[in-house]
Amino acid sequence: MEEGLLDQGDKTTSEPFKLLVQSIFDYAIFMLDPKGFVTSWNAGAERIKGYQTEQIVGQHFSKFYTEEDRAAGMPQSVLETAKREGRFEGEGWRVRKDGARFWASVVVDRIQDEKGKLVGFAKITRDMTEQRAAQQALLEAERSFQILVQGVTDYALFMLDPAGKVTNWNSGAQRIKGYAPEEIIGEHFSRFYTPEEFEAGVPHRALEIARETGRYEAEGWRMRKDGTRFWASVVLDAIRNEDGELIGFAKITRDMTDKRETQSRLEESREQLFRSQKMEALGQLTGGLAHDFNNLLTAILGACELALRNIKDPDKVRRMLDGVRNSAQRGASLTRQLLAFARAQPLELKQIDLKLFFADVATLLRPSLRSNIEVVTEFSDQLWPVDADAGALELAILNFAFNARDAMPEGGTLRISAHNAVLTGEPDGLRGEHVALRVADTGTGMSREVVERVFEPFFTTKSFGEGTGLGLSQVFGFARQIGGAIAVESEPGKGSVFTMYIPASRSGEPSGGRNKGSETLGRVLVVEDDTLVAELAAGMFDELGFQATVTHSAKEALERLSGGEKPRLIFSDIVMPGGISGVELARKVRERFPELPILLTTGYSEQVAQVHGFPILQKPYEMDALAGALGKLLKIEIAAS
Question: What's the CATH code of the domain at 604?
Answer: 3.40.50.2300
DSSP E strands in 325-430: the ranges are: 349-352, 373-379, 386-389, 412-424
Rg of the chain on CA atoms, in Å: 49
Of the three residues 339, 360, 377, the one that is the final residue of a domain is 339
Distances (CA, A) of 45 to 48, 388, 485, 570: 5, 96, 86, 113
- Which pLDDT does position 521 carry in this prediction? 82
Residue type, 350: K
- Which pLDDT does position 135 carry in this prediction? 80
Q: Is residue 300 part of a domain?
A: yes
Of the three residues 129, 163, 186, the one that is the final residue of a domain is 129
DSSP E strands in 382-537: the ranges are: 386-389, 412-424, 431-441, 485-490, 496-503, 523-527
Residues 283, 328, single domain; the answer is yes
- Which pLDDT does position 56 carry in this prediction? 93
Residues 399, 448, single domain; the answer is yes
Task: Residue 481: name the closest of 367, 379, 621, 387 by CA.
Answer: 387
pTM above 0.75, yes or no: no
Task: Residue 403: name the closest of 502, 528, 497 by CA.
Answer: 497
* CATH assignment at residue 442: 3.30.565.10
- Which pLDDT does position 85 carry in this prediction? 93
Do 50 and 98 form a contact (C-beta atoms < 8 A)? yes
Q: Is residue 639 part of a domain?
A: no
Q: Is residue 138 part of a domain?
A: no
Owning domain of residue 583:
523-634
Residues 629, 589, single domain; the answer is yes
Residues 464, 366, single domain; the answer is yes
- Which pLDDT does position 2 carry in this prediction? 42
Residues 474, 352, single domain; the answer is yes
Vertex 440: Cα angle to 439 and 444 (nearest 5): 135
Residues 491, 606, single domain; the answer is no
End-to-end CA distance of the chain: 138
Residues 332, 371, single domain; the answer is no
Per the structure, the count of domains in the chain is 5
Of the three residues 129, 164, 197, the one that is the final residue of a domain is 129
Q: Is residue 193 part of a domain?
A: yes
Vertex 635: Cα angle to 633 and 637 (nearest 5): 110
Compute the distance between CA of residue 358 and CA of residue 439 in angstroms, rounded to an integer. Answer: 12
Q: Is residue 137 part of a domain?
A: no
- Which pLDDT does position 57 carry in this prediction? 94
Q: Is residue 512 part of a domain?
A: no
Residues 577, 461, single domain; the answer is no
Residues 474, 425, single domain; the answer is yes
* Rounded mean pLDDT for each run of 10 residues along the chain, 641 residues in total: 44 56 80 94 92 93 94 94 93 94 94 90 92 78 63 81 91 90 92 92 93 92 93 92 90 88 76 59 55 68 80 84 76 64 60 82 71 85 85 80 86 90 85 91 87 71 50 77 88 91 71 44 88 81 87 87 84 83 89 90 61 78 86 81 57
Distances (CA, A) of 237 to 14, 131, 161, 200: 60, 32, 12, 21
- Which pLDDT does position 222 carry in this prediction? 93
- Which pLDDT does position 275 carry in this prediction? 62
Q: Is residue 291 part of a domain?
A: yes
Residues 487, 410, single domain; the answer is yes
- Which pLDDT does position 498 carry in this prediction? 92
